[in-house]
Amino acid sequence: MTLAVGQEELLLDRAVQQVVAAARAADPDTDVRDLMPDALQPGTLAELTSPSLFAERKVVVVRNAQDLSADTIKDVKGYLGTPAEEITLVLLHAGGAKGKGLLDAARKAGAREVACPKMTKPADRLAFVRSEFRATGRSATPEACQALVDAIGSDLRELASVVSQLVADVEGTIDEAVVARYYTGRAEASSFTVADRAVEGRAAEALEALRWAVSTGVPPVLITSALAQGVRSIGKLASAPRGARPGDLARELGMPPWKIDRVRQQMRGWSADGVAIALRAVAEADAGVKGGGDDPEYALEKAVVTIARAARAGRR
């Protein structure tokens, strides 16, 4: 018996795939029944798990087990007490309060548990990307992993797919330049990469990201917009009440909780004067890229350097 608990669809599907692969490694003819709650009526489980004349191996997958009817839950609990040897039961449960009795019963029966939590934090997705590379036996730099998360976003399936594609297409260590080369069409991600590096005080990396963004056609106004958002976020959080919880700050400042955590890390070293200097630099760059200057790229470079210096000033 396997119990997969959580709401991350990719991890739930992988838990099922691993069980099915193991069963079919032992018996290629293993029958797999993948069922949603509405397909598992009272008595259905007894039919699926009844002894076969041919000792047929079977994997029975029950998805969204927390949504089973009360009568069906009784059937499942009864089966948990006397499982059939040739049957592998896989229960997928969201893990909340709903259907907790079934969750507890499966644990008490000794089911192997697989955690499949929803990955809502950037740090969790970053750890996921690193683990995906490790699983393939390939190495990727920390900067490449971060760039991938920044470019792709929160969809774990897409992140996993991208890792597989990079591993298949690229030899040797995968670095940030490789990620940038493969994912040039994501203008928004490129502009926010420039902003993130600048407000973190990483001038050289911010300039490198800026030149790459410009060379791949990212509109300068998107970059100034990202720079403005990055600096304003630091200013907002710096003026927020100390000790407030991320959820409360998120509502008050209009940011998602994960962004609160990121900005907290980025704001180290910033001062009120630094924020003011950076905002003036962004305003000048914005005017420069909208026709107020002869060289939009120079205006952006000047703003990036000024912002990075302001970020480092408070650390001295």
**What's this model's pTM, rounded to 2 decimal places?**
0.57
pLDDT-based confidence at residue 147 (cuts at 50, 70, 90): confident
- Residue 302 covered by a domain: yes
Task: Give the number of domains in the chain.
Answer: 3
pLDDT at 71: 93
Domain contains 237: yes
| 117 token code pair | 């939590």
CATH number of the domain within which 243 lies: 1.20.272.10
Is there a single domain that holds both residue 105 and residue 195?
Answer: no
Tell me, yes or no, whether 25 and 129 share the same domain: no
Of 95, 116, 137, at which residue does a domain stop? 116
* Least confident among 53-62, 211-220, 249-258: 249-258
Task: Report the distance separating Cα 90 and Cα 58, nearest Å.
Answer: 11
User: Which residues pair with residue 89 across a beta bridge?
Assistant: 60
Q: Specify whether 219 is located in the same domain as 166.
A: no
Closest CA to 24 of 51, 52, 56, 2: 56
* Residues 55 and 21 placed together within one structural domain of the fold: yes
Q: Are residues 271 and 166 in the same domain?
A: no
Please tell me whether residues 111 and 18 are part of one structural domain: yes
What are the Cα distances from residue 238, in Å, to 56, 80, 245, 256, 300?
A: 64, 54, 14, 16, 25
Do residues 25 and 107 both lie within one domain? yes
Tell me the per-residue pLDDT of 72-84, one tens digit each, with 9 for 90 and over.
999 999 999 989 8
Q: Locate tokens 């890229």: which residue?
A: 289
More confidently predicted of 307 and 266: 307
Query: Does residue 246 carry a pLDDT above 70?
Result: no
Is there a single domain that holds both residue 23 and residue 93? yes
113-142 pLDDT, tens per residue?
999 998 888 888 899 999 999 999 999 999
Residue 186 has pLDDT above 70, yes or no: no
What confidence tier does 20 reach under pLDDT thresholds 50, 70, 90? very high
* Span of 29-33, 159-163, 286-290, 292-296 with lowest mean pLDDT: 292-296
Does 104 share its domain with 10? yes
CATH number of the domain where residue 175 is located: 1.10.8
User: Span 205-216, mean pLDDT?
Assistant: 84
User: Do 9 and 102 belong to one domain?
Assistant: yes
Q: Of 93, 116, 139, which marks where a domain is finished?
A: 116
**Does 10 share its domain with 100?**
yes
| CATH number of the domain encompassing residue 85 | 3.40.50.300
For residue 187, name the pLDDT band (cuts at 50, 70, 90): very low
Last residue of some domain: 162, 183, 204? Answer: 183
Q: Has residue 169 got a pLDDT over 60?
A: yes
Give dist(CA 310, CA 68) in Å, integer: 57
Domain that residue 14 falls in: 2-116
Please name which of 213, 168, 162 lies closest in space to residue 188, comparing C-alpha atoms. Answer: 213
Q: What confidence score (pLDDT) does residue 314 get? A: 58
160 against 239, higher pLDDT: 160
pLDDT at 266 over 50: yes
Residue 276 confidence (pLDDT): 93
Q: What confidence category does residue 220 fall into, taking pLDDT thresholds of 50, 70 and 90?
A: confident
Give the sign of the dihedral formed by CA 213, CA 214, CA 217, CA 221.
positive
pLDDT class of 89 with cuts at 50, 70, 90 = very high
Do 7 and 112 sit in the same domain of this protein?
Answer: yes
Lowest mean pLDDT of 106-120, 179-193, 296-310, name the range.
179-193
Distance between CA atoms of residues 188 and 94, nearest Å: 33
Q: Whole-angstrom distance between the N-terminal and C-terminal Cα of the chain?
A: 58
User: Does residue 221 fall inside a structural domain?
Assistant: yes
Question: Does some domain include residue 316?
Answer: no
Question: What is the percent of the chain where pLDDT is above 90?
Answer: 44
